[in-house]
Amino acid sequence: MSALRCPRCGTTFDPPARFCTKDGFPLVPGGAPLPTTPRAFGLHRTGELRLPPARRGDPASGLSGRVMDGRYQMEMRVGEGGMAYVYRAKDRETGRTVAVKVLMSRLVGDQEAVARLRREAQVAMRLDHPNVCGILAWGQASGMPYLVMPFLEGETLSRRETRHGPMPPALGVALLRQLCLGLQHAHDAGVLHRDLKPENVMLVPGEQPGRERAVVMDFGLAKESVAGPEVLKLTATGIVLGTPEFMSPEQIRGKALDRRSDIFALGVLGFELLTGRLPFEGNTAQETMLAHLTGQPIRLRQANPKLPEPLERVMARAIAHKAEERYQTMGEFEEALGESER
């Protein structure tokens, strides 16, 4: 499938994205495919995709072969998001292969963009779990803010879905349970993700042959459960920056969020993973958000009759309209998913 483009701002997205997350416009065909969708910072297998040429006049896009901050040998650019470039690099001090995310030069003077990148580092450096991609370091070199992450060999869940379609229930449920465990760890650390979607999940080889590990990426919109005024101000635009297809009703309304909003988003992600469809559908971002607020979701087995009824009940509860009717913790969601397989 060819790439899609926002007719208003010109931003290019990979399928299966349908709306521009900058202005909400429905996407139209056009443009060459990009390595990652601009609404996320997924890391992709080195050499898997052709990247667009470095943007003329942007020093942050041409760092391959250079040493960042006297420590990180930038080997090659492997990804690009809406705010940053991602490089595979070698940490000269540890010998470890890492991923370095460098803020685009045009955003260096944008205090909110710099604050969001710093915020991502501060939040994710507190996380240490095999199903969460944490942050190793944060810094600034030659006026360019950057953060350092473990380098993950694999592909995003969105790309896997595009290539293979819905997952078999056994595999899909296993990956969802891993994501529940990673997100429970984040929630226990007082961190809400607030932008869960297939583009923000990496599938990497597991320790056992033939097994994969699901890793939650990109805490750029993350928010602490208990936050001060400066954090609330920084994240106040979350309704604009979130992704309509996966936003909880309370997020769309701009209400206070808690872990149950992440549970809703993971439920929508799981529904799409298992069926290839979204439980709430609309032709525009506005229609999709209205469906989240007022419409009834499609039943799981309506979208895929081969799925078991117990799994349908689990997913229906995860995306319940009222937060108090959902699972109250990721641990409860994970346990219910496990029971649905028995």
What amino acid positions are annotated as catalytic residues?
A: 195
At 22, the amino acid letter reads K
Q: What angle do CA 43, 48, 50 make, to 5 degrees?
A: 95
Residue type, 64: S
Nearest one of 181, 102, 179, 95 to 144, comparing CA atoms = 102
- Closest among 189, 265, 266 to 224, alpha carbons compared: 189
Between CA 95 and CA 240 the distance in angstroms is 40
Q: Is the dihedral of CA 6, 40, 202, 248 positive or negative?
A: negative
In whole angstroms, what separates CA 338 from the centre of its chain? Answer: 24
177 Cβ contact partners less than 8 Å away, ≥ 6 residues apart: 334, 337, 338
- The number of C-alpha atoms within 13 Å of 192 and in the hemisphere containing its C-beta is 25
Around Cβ 190, how many Cβ atoms within 10 Å?
14
- Collapse the DSSP code of 220 into the 3-class scheme (helix H, G, I; strand E, B; otherwise coil) and give the result: coil
For the chain, first and last CA: distance in Å?
A: 38
- For 142, counting Cβ atoms within 10 Å of its Cβ (0-12 exposed, 13-18 middle, 19+ buried), the class is exposed
